[in-house]
Amino acid sequence: MTQLTALVLTAALLATLGRSQAADGTLSAWVAVQAGVFQMGAQPGPEVLSTGAQRTYAGPDWDEAPVHEVRITRPFALALAKVTQAEFARFRPQHKAFIAARGIAWSPDAPAVMVTWNDAVAYCRWRSEQEDAPIRLPTEAEWECAARHAERLGLRGMGDGILEWCLDWWAPYAPGAVTDPLGPQQGEIRVARGRSGARTETTEVTVGGVIKKVGRVVKPSASDRSGTVPEDRRVDLGFRVVRAPLPGGTVRPALPLAEVFRDVSQTRMDWKEQAHPGIPVFYGSVPFIDKPADPQALPYFNRHHVPSLVACDNGDLLVTAMTAPADSSDQMAILISRLRRGKAQWDPPARFFIAPDRDVDSAVLFNAGNGELHHYNSVGGAQHRFSVVKRVSTDNGATWSPARLVHEHPANPPEQKSFSGEPRFWSHMGIVRLPDGTLVMPSDAGYSGMNNDGTVLWGSQDRGDSWAEVTRYGWQAKEFGQAGKQAGWIAGIHAPFVVLADGRYLAIGRGSPIGDRAPLSLSADQGKTWTYQASPFPPILNSQRSALLRLREGPILFLSYTDASPLFKDNTQQGMDFADDSGVVRKGFGTFAALSMDEGQTWSCRKLIPLEAGTPWKSDRGGYLFCVQTPDGLIHLVSSRKYYRFNLAWLKTPAGALKP
């Protein structure tokens, strides 16, 4: 068999494959793709240093490597174009009304979108029966083989902005030649292929104290990979079909199990209260994710944040964080690490969740009780629209169920500024369980710099299997974020909340400042509407996220930053006043904690969170915070990179005076 340097149509093959006639007499056009050998994938480029000492990424995505030889042993017929709306509606007549109800104009010749992988497979099965011929989705290798010669073959729409479902489960490539590859036997993400024209990825950098955007042009490539969960449906996702038997080729082997998932204790922790809870405890500034020896194999990039933290029933801690070259990158992954009970160092990071070429920056871990750990993750799509998936572990995070959709994004929502339709469901904060068992998850509603950007609450009454908006996003928009006024959602993005003793909700958000203070929002109707006032704390700004937690002992704990992150501001810092153990009030800078003993009326015991016990006045100045408290009373805090552990007694103890 010769090297496949070009694909051509052969009269004999086309005569064998014929032309497919549908039930209404229309004809589907096919192109014959010859058997042969080609080099699949691409070599990723490196992370590069750009303006302002920030890192961006150049070249193909990490999951396109390594380049490897693929042998296609049998010719196949590939549809010249994607299945159209009209063709899909012959299989499922209600599809026309379905997409119309979601704001998508009906066009018979347009690609069929808002179609799940399961829908596409069902269509292929139906069409196979109609035509008495094997109709199926293309394998990922077949799709790339044809796409590399799309122009020569006359294939239409392989770069029109509508992705195409493939047959395979997604997994990283392995080195070595393969024959008729079929992907792995199991998975949770189905491959989608195709990309629109060149796009620009941007990242924010600071030059001379001024925030600037640095962009790079990303050109479309036949090797580019995407994907999502099989039941997801998108306005930018359709499919085309193959007319050929399924090849019986190479199944990609499973990857070795990462350390974080191995030898996990299943002995339940006996969470005894501390023997001496009045003794201050502090342990800090421990990295929870270190750079691995082979970053692209993980993958690991310079940018990682949006952490989440959970305590397992066996006493271990699990932490997740997003990694990406930049916030706007489509190379985004969720990593996970484990701090085993009694250990001082975290396990090496492992890949936890990826939907390739999709925004998955927001992961939330939650101990749901009854032996269940939950993982929720946003999955982005076209025009910044997000779905949410859920996974469950019943063995302290050693194994997880496949991701499944628990919230579907609106297909074609109105513009954010119109305040109709659904708010975005993304960038989640920690989940709060109400006394009746309802789960409530805060989520950003807008991230465009508009004055109405804020936080909404989503509630679930079925242990996270479905979610509905609790807040009234858009209600009384003109009153939003103004002191003493009332509107339907929380002022500021990234806003955690707590339930007060009288049943009201209290939240403190990022941005949307009231005066020169972070906004504090209060709800007296279980989160439906909110009134606003200035908090006593500095505004929370770029590269920062606060944490808010009701402690087991009763007080409310707030964790935030004294000033804007130095990454987004010159070195002028205002700081906050803190009293040391001699009663002297001095300026402190960085991560701080404040306690409220009176349900948010006042906030006392303000204290810097030091980098380590011996340096009480040195603290981190940026990062996203996430905090949990274990039944033994210890408080566990992570920023974007560091882990801290302390107790209430330590928070109440003033920091030591500076030594002369």
Q: Using one digit for the tens of pLDDT, what is the confidence trace for 541-559? A: 888 999 999 999 999 999 9
Cβ atoms of residues 124 and 115 within 8 Å: no
**Helix/strand/coil (H/E/C) assignment for every residue in 34-46:** CCEEEEECCCCCC
Q: Rounded CA gap, 406 and 199, in Å?
A: 30
Residue of higher predicted confidence among 220 and 297: 297
Peptide bond into 519 cis (omega under 30): no
Cβ atoms of residues 445 and 455 within 8 Å: yes
What pLDDT, on a 0 to 100 scale, did the predictor assign at position 530? 98
The residue type of 558 is F
- Picking from 143, 180, 148, 222, the residue whose alpha carbon sits closest to that of residue 69 is 180
Of 114-118, 254-258, 300-304, 376-380, which gets the smallest average pLDDT? 300-304
Percent of the residues in the chain that have a pLDDT greater than 70, as a whole number? 85
- Picking from 386, 229, 335, 196, the residue whose alpha carbon sits closest to that of residue 638 is 335
CA angle 414, 417, 419 (to 5 degrees): 65
Q: Given pLDDT bands bounded at 50, 70 and 90, which one contains residue 450?
A: low
Strands 454-460 and 505-508: what pairing? unpaired
> Is residue 17 within a helix (H) or strand (E), and if so which, with residue range?
helix 11-17
Q: Rounded CA gap, 91 and 59, in Å?
A: 41
Is residue 377 pLDDT above 90, yes or no?
yes
Strands 439-445 and 454-460: what pairing? antiparallel
Cβ atoms of residues 561 and 543 within 8 Å: no
Q: Given pLDDT bands bounded at 50, 70 and 90, which one contains residue 538?
A: very high
Q: Quick one: DSSP state of residue 345?
A: S
Q: Rounded CA gap, 361 and 379, in Å?
A: 8
Q: Which residues pair with 334 in a beta bridge?
A: 322, 353
DSSP 537-588: SPPP-TTEE-EEEE-TTS-EEEEEESS--GGGS-S----EEEEBTTS-EEEE
What pLDDT, on a 0 to 100 scale, did the predictor assign at position 408? 87
Cβ atoms of residues 20 and 131 within 8 Å: yes
3-state class (DSSP) for residue 592: strand
Of 97-106, 418-427, 614-623, which gets the smallest average pLDDT? 418-427
What pLDDT, on a 0 to 100 scale, did the predictor assign at position 141? 97
Mean pLDDT of 279-296: 88
- Picking from 616, 650, 656, 608, the residue whose alpha carbon sits closest to that of residue 633 is 650
Is residue 205 pLDDT above 70, yes or no?
no
Dump pLDDT digits (tens) for 178-199: 999 999 999 999 999 997 545 5
Mean pLDDT of 499-513: 96
What pLDDT, on a 0 to 100 scale, did the predictor assign at position 416? 43
Going from N- to C-terminal start, the domains of the chain cover 11-243, 541-660
Q: Rounded CA gap, 165 and 193, in Å?
A: 7
Cβ atoms of residues 399 and 375 within 8 Å: no
| pTM exceeds 0.85, yes or no | yes
What pLDDT, on a 0 to 100 scale, did the predictor assign at position 385? 76
Place of tokens 């359709």: 238
Dump pLDDT digits (tens) for 230-259: 999 999 999 999 999 999 888 888 888 999
Rounded-to-10 torsion of CA 147, 20, 10, 68: 30
Cβ atoms of residues 214 and 52 within 8 Å: yes
Q: Quick one: DSSP state of residue 514?
A: B
Q: Given pLDDT bands bounded at 50, 70 and 90, which one contains residue 601?
A: very high
Two tokens at 411?
Answer: 């297909």
The CATH architecture one would assign to domain 11-243 is: Alpha-Beta Complex (3.90)
> Is residue 96 within a helix (H) or strand (E), and if so which, with residue range?
helix 95-100
Which of 68-72, 205-209, 426-430 holds the top average pLDDT?
A: 68-72
Of 2-6, 222-226, 303-307, 487-491, which gets the smallest average pLDDT? 2-6
The residues, ordered by sequence, that sit 6+ positions from 273 with a Cβ below 8 Å of its Cβ are 631, 632, 633
Is residue 24 pLDDT above 80, yes or no?
no
Of 137-146, 504-513, 560-569, which gets the smallest average pLDDT? 560-569
Q: Rounded CA gap, 182 and 167, in Å?
A: 8
Residue of higher predicted confidence among 207 and 104: 104
What pLDDT, on a 0 to 100 scale, did the predictor assign at position 383? 63
What pLDDT, on a 0 to 100 scale, did the predictor assign at position 179? 95
Cα 425 to the center of its chain, rounded Å: 11
3-state class (DSSP) for residue 89: helix
Average pLDDT, the chain: 87
> Is residue 469 within a helix (H) or strand (E), and if so which, with residue range?
strand 468-469
What pLDDT, on a 0 to 100 scale, did the predictor assign at position 52? 46
Is residue 207 pLDDT above 50, yes or no?
no
Mean pLDDT of 113-123: 97
